[in-house]
Amino acid sequence: MAEWTLKEHSEGELVVTISGEEWKKAQEKAFNKVAKNVTIKGFRKGSVPRNVLRKYVDDTQIRYQAVEDNANAWLALGLKEKELEPVSRPSLDVRNMSGDSVDVVFIFTVEPEVKLGEYKNLPYHLEKTEVSEEDLEHEINQMRDRYAEVETVDGPAEKGDTVNIDYEGFKDGVPFDGGKADGYNLVLGSGTFIPGFEDQLIGASAGEEKELNLTFPEDYGSEELAGAAVVFKVRVNEVKRRVLPELDDDFAKDINAPGVETVEDLRKTVRERLENNRKAEAERKADEQLLKDVAAASEIDVPEVMIEEEANNIFHQFTSQLAQYGMNPDQYLKMLGQSESDLKAGYHEDAERNLRVRLTLAAIARAEGLEVTEEDIEKEYAAVAEMYSSTVDEIKSVLSPDMLKQDILNQKAHDFVKENAQRTEE
């Protein structure tokens, strides 16, 4: 027999009462377990007569041992009877313990109650997407830039050219630390060097030597050089320029895009791609705002234990991504000057927002009676397999249907809210 009492912040007590024959058997097994480890002078360990053992083994010890041995099983029975799913590790307490019965108390947090607000007829605003001629030309020029050839220039350098230079900096006629390099490749106009350095090299040719009179910015990182007047002696070794291919039918064919044979084909294909990308981005933003609105309309007291777990999940996802790029998470934290707990604390707001959305969608799915079919599950398995370049059987070996069902239900709830929203575009 079990009783569930919900208290504040979704924490509650599950009291499972054990009595009668079940409690007697539990105590008997506990007594036998304890008896095996009792040592009494004059008797071999494990061979002490029962009537003698009773004098040495305390009833309270036996009963606590019985609770310890059976707590998990009794918890499972209580959860099943009351149809509960903890979201925190249950703590254990014992009350009203006697030879006849015991109240085993489990204290844990469950998912919070969701009081749904309005989730139909919400605004779904799509930003108007347009691709101008300027946008199209910019994209095509970027494509041309990727196919550009680098040529050595026998003439003055222009903005955007790469100059190979030797340079040395002097302050009051004395070279300063970090102010010298040989064979340095500098893209003019990149803003790599202090203001004026690159500008004064525009128009310089290979073999030319120049003296650049410059002043370091007041907020420069080196105290010695901040605001200082300096002279850089520079020799230009080589000037290179990226030469873009002509925008003609030959270039269009070189792109190797399906169905593209001419410049007009290329323009049409690029325009369609830009339009599709912008529509997808507009829809993503509209979806994101819709979910925020749905969650904001609902009343949810999200338990802190759930927020902490979600923040941990976000943290582990982030560190996994770092590892994929060959970066050590500890080194990254050291570079930021933060601890693991600092980074997790920064995820607190995102974690709570994620949970509010998921809990709200789950509540909508229940309210609308949405269900998951076998076909839905098979489609999800196929989608996950494609995402990870794996097979459906391999995905099934690590993901059970139950692990997929809630995500599928939440997606159905999302689709339901979207279908019932008021769509606008401008």
Q: Of the candidates 412, 302, 306, which has an alpha carbon nearest to the alpha carbon of residue 364?
A: 412
Contact 237, 206 (CB under 8 A): yes
- The domain boundary, picked from 225, 243, 261, lies at 243
Is 256 part of a structural domain of the chain?
no
| CATH number of the structural domain spanning residue 89 | 3.30.70.1050
Is 234 part of a structural domain of the chain?
yes
Contact 51, 69 (CB under 8 A): no
Which residue's entry shows tokens 């105290």? 223
CA neighbours closer than 13 Å in the CB half-sphere of residue 182: 0
Residues 97 and 177 in one domain: no
Residues 94 and 19 in one domain: yes
Which stretches does DSSP call E strand in 50-98? 91-95
| CATH number of the structural domain spanning residue 212 | 3.10.50.40
Enter the tokens of residue 78: 């209580």
Contact 408, 108 (CB under 8 A): no
Is 313 part of a structural domain of the chain?
no
Beta bridge partners, 359, equal none
> What does pTM read for this prediction?
0.71
- The domain boundary, picked from 49, 82, 109, lies at 109
Q: How far apart are CA 191 and CA 227, in angstroms?
A: 18
Q: Is 91 helix (H, G, I), strand (E, B) or coil?
A: strand
Is 254 part of a structural domain of the chain?
no
Is 280 part of a structural domain of the chain?
no
Is 340 part of a structural domain of the chain?
no
Which residue's entry shows tokens 């850089």? 232
Domain span holding position 39: 2-109
Residues 153 and 74 in one domain: no
Q: How far apart are CA 255 and CA 272, in angstroms?
A: 16
Residues 28 and 84 in one domain: yes
- The domain boundary, picked from 200, 227, 243, lies at 243
pLDDT at residue number 26: 94
* Tens digit of pLDDT at every position of the chain (426 positions): 899 999 988 999 999 999 999 999 999 899 888 777 766 666 666 666 666 666 677 889 899 999 999 999 999 999 999 999 999 999 999 999 999 999 999 999 999 999 999 999 999 999 888 899 999 999 999 999 999 999 999 999 999 999 999 999 999 999 998 899 999 999 999 999 999 999 999 999 999 999 999 999 998 888 889 999 999 999 999 999 999 999 999 999 988 889 999 999 999 999 999 999 999 999 999 999 999 999 999 999 999 999 999 998 998 888 888 887 777 877 777 777 777 888 888 888 999 999 999 999 999 999 999 999 999 999 999 999 998 888 998 998 988 898 899 999 999 999 999 999 998 876
Q: Is 372 helix (H, G, I), strand (E, B) or coil?
A: coil
Residues 92 and 170 in one domain: no
Is 336 part of a structural domain of the chain?
no
Beta bridge partners, 102, equal 18
Contact 199, 161 (CB under 8 A): no
Provide the domain count of the chain: 3
Residues 92 and 25 in one domain: yes
Is 37 part of a structural domain of the chain?
yes
Which stretches does DSSP call E strand in 203-304? 209-215, 229-243
Distances (CA, A) of 329 to 111, 320, 332: 32, 9, 5
